[in-house]
């Protein structure tokens, strides 16, 4: 039996453990938890875990007493780096939620903590390991594009209201949407281009769509504009504009922050330069709905152009100098496009000693955080920013 210790047993941890991890290894138990919300955790825990789970006050005590085989960090973003830095002391596989850090100070100390660590990390980057991204990588590796020189990547998020109506709107916890969202995209783009990003110029648009002056803590059920607001549950239900139709916090509230205190962007874009000499653009838009949802990339080399979109579950390669175009369709969508299952396979494989190396090791998380931090800085200063590289001093 695999004994798992969880720090921050929230919705994401519960979903990954009871979905993909249990699918890959049914004989897994949540043996120990560190989480201040004991009541919430107890309600979330699967029946099979409830009987024997032990709660601890600290990570150190949990590792000392619980005889663990692996650790899962599922707290919110601002706690990932300090907690992972502590776990780096132990020789236990770690599943670490993203972003792995939300400030430069956190990212640098995390890198330092892992310098001589034996702790193997699976950073929660499902896109990189998703079957569709792997198929794109196979095409690139077999030379269908020649050297990849340009990328045009896009992320039209159909559930982006979560960043204004859920705790993600607290900027001090998330650090903005490059770190929250683009961390996945910059990671898979570096992977596909076979090269890190060295320079970023970015822009963000604030307060054109969401955010505002409505009172703190306001919910639709108490709002006098509930009948006309397009975000109210009844209008979301009527317009099929989701992504859910429950009562929720106001997206136009002072709780969403402002430019002085920090706030999420309605949309943002980055021009990125790769070490290889290629370049690309990436855009993310958080107010789109329904079939407007799209996430993927168009990658070009002299020999061909490859495009894919996780929402359409399709990949196309146009051969520039041969009269052929290849279209490949993926099977039905899985959790995070099949990526969560692949992350689970890596994590269980590391715990059982069946694999030696994670496909999303700690360096991938830290490098992506460095790129996101550069993008955030660029968007706020209007300057191109050099990206710190993992391993550089």
Binding site residues, ligand NAD, CB under 6 A: 7-12, 34-37, 40, 74-77, 79, 97-98, 124, 126, 336
Q: At closest approach, how far in Å is the CB of 55 from ligand NAD?
A: 11
Residue with Cβ nearer ligand NAD (38 or 383): 38
Q: At closest approach, how far in Å is the CB of 263 from ligand NAD?
A: 17
Residue with Cβ nearer ligand NAD (232 or 313): 313
Q: Please give the C-alpha separations between residue 352 and each of 25, 28, 46, 95, 346, in angstroms, as whole numbers.
A: 10, 12, 23, 14, 10
Residue with Cβ nearer ligand NAD (97 or 111): 97
The Cα–Cα gap between 278 and 199 comes to 11
DSSP track, 192-249: HHTS-EEEEEEEEE-SSSS---BPTT-BGGG-TTTTT-TTSHHHHHHHT--S--S--B
Q: At closest approach, how far in Å is the CB of 165 from ligand NAD?
A: 13
Residue with Cβ nearer ligand NAD (43 or 381): 43
Which position's Cβ is nearest ligand NAD? 10
Residue with Cβ nearer ligand NAD (274 or 282): 282
Q: Is 138 exposed, middle or buried (0-12, 13-18, 19+ CB in 10 A)?
A: exposed
Specify the DSSP element, H or E, that contains 64: helix 59-65
The Cα–Cα gap between 62 and 86 comes to 12
Task: Note the helical H segments in 267-393.
Answer: 339-351, 362-381
Report yes or no: 73 and 46 within 8 Å, Cβ to Cβ: no
Q: At closest approach, how far in Å is the CB of 340 from ligand NAD?
A: 8
Q: At closest approach, how far in Å is the CB of 238 from ligand NAD?
A: 28
Q: At closest approach, how far in Å is the CB of 222 from ligand NAD?
A: 23
Residue with Cβ nearer ligand NAD (128 or 139): 128
Q: At closest approach, how far in Å is the CB of 22 from ligand NAD?
A: 17
Residue with Cβ nearer ligand NAD (179 or 256): 179
The Cα–Cα gap between 257 and 207 comes to 10
Residues pairing with 150 in the sheet:
279, 300
Residues pairing with 190 in the sheet:
none
Report yes or no: 31 and 65 within 8 Å, Cβ to Cβ: no
Q: At closest approach, how far in Å is the CB of 141 from ligand NAD?
A: 25
What are the tokens at 24? 């890959």
Q: At closest approach, how far in Å is the CB of 299 from ligand NAD?
A: 22
What are the tokens at 38? 């004991």
Residue with Cβ nearer ligand NAD (77 or 272): 77
The Cα–Cα gap between 38 and 57 comes to 11
The Cα–Cα gap between 325 and 314 comes to 13
Residue with Cβ nearer ligand NAD (162 or 390): 162
Nearest in space to 16 (alpha carbons), one of 82, 74, 66, 84: 74
Q: At closest approach, how far in Å is the CB of 272 from ligand NAD?
A: 21
Q: At closest approach, how far in Å is the CB of 129 from ligand NAD?
A: 11
Residue with Cβ nearer ligand NAD (98 or 388): 98
Residue with Cβ nearer ligand NAD (17 or 256): 17
Sign of CA dihedral 120, 363, 99, 172: positive
Nearest in space to 249 (alpha carbons), one of 231, 263, 261: 231
């Amino acid at each position: 039996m695999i004994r798992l210790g969880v720090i921050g047993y929230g919705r994401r941890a519960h979903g990954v453990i009871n979905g993909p991890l249990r699918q890959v290894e049914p004989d897994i138990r949540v043996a120990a938890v560190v989480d201040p919300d004991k009541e919430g955790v107890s309600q979330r825990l699967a029946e099979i875990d409830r009987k024997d789970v032990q709660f601890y006050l600290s990570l150190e005590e949990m590792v000392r007493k619980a005889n663990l085989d692996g650790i899962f960090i599922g707290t919110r973003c601002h706690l990932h780096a300090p907690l992972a830095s502590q776990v780096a002391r132990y020789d236990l596989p770690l599943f670490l939620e993203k972003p792995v850090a939300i400030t430069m100070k956190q990212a640098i100390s995390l890198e330092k903590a892992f310098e001589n660590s034996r702790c193997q990390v699976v950073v929660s980057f499902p896109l990189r390991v998703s079957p569709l991204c792997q198929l794109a990588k196979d095409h690139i590796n077999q030379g269908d594009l020649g050297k990849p020189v340009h990328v045009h990547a896009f992320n039209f998020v159909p559930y982006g209201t979560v960043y204004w109506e859920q705790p993600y709107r607290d900027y001090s916890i998330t650090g903005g949407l490059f770190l929250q969202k683009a961390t996945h995209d910059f990671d898979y783009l570096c992977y596909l281009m076979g090269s890190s990003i060295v320079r970023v110029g970015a822009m963000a648009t604030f307060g054109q769509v969401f955010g505002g002056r409505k009172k703190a803590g306001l919910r639709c059920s108490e709002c006098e504009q509930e009948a006309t607001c397009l975000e109210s549950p009844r209008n979301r239900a009527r317009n099929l504009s989701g992504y859910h139709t429950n009562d929720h916090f106001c997206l136009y509230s002072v709780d969403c922050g402002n430019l002085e205190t920090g706030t999420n962007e309605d949309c943002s874009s980055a021009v990125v330069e790769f070490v290889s000499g290629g370049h690309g653009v990436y855009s993310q838009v958080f107010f789109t709905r329904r079939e407007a949802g799209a996430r993927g990339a168009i990658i070009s080399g002299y020999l061909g152009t490859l495009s894919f979109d996780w929402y359409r579950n399709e990949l196309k390669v146009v051969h520039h100098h041969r009269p052929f175009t290849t279209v490949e369709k993926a099977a039905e969508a899985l959790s995070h496009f099949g990526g969560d299952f692949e992350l689970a396979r890596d994590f269980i494989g590391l715990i059982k000693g069946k694999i030696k190396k994670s496909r999303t090791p700690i360096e991938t998380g830290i490098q992506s955080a460095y790129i996101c931090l550069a993008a955030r800085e660029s968007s706020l200063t209007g300057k191109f920013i050099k990206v710190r590289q993992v391993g550089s001093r």
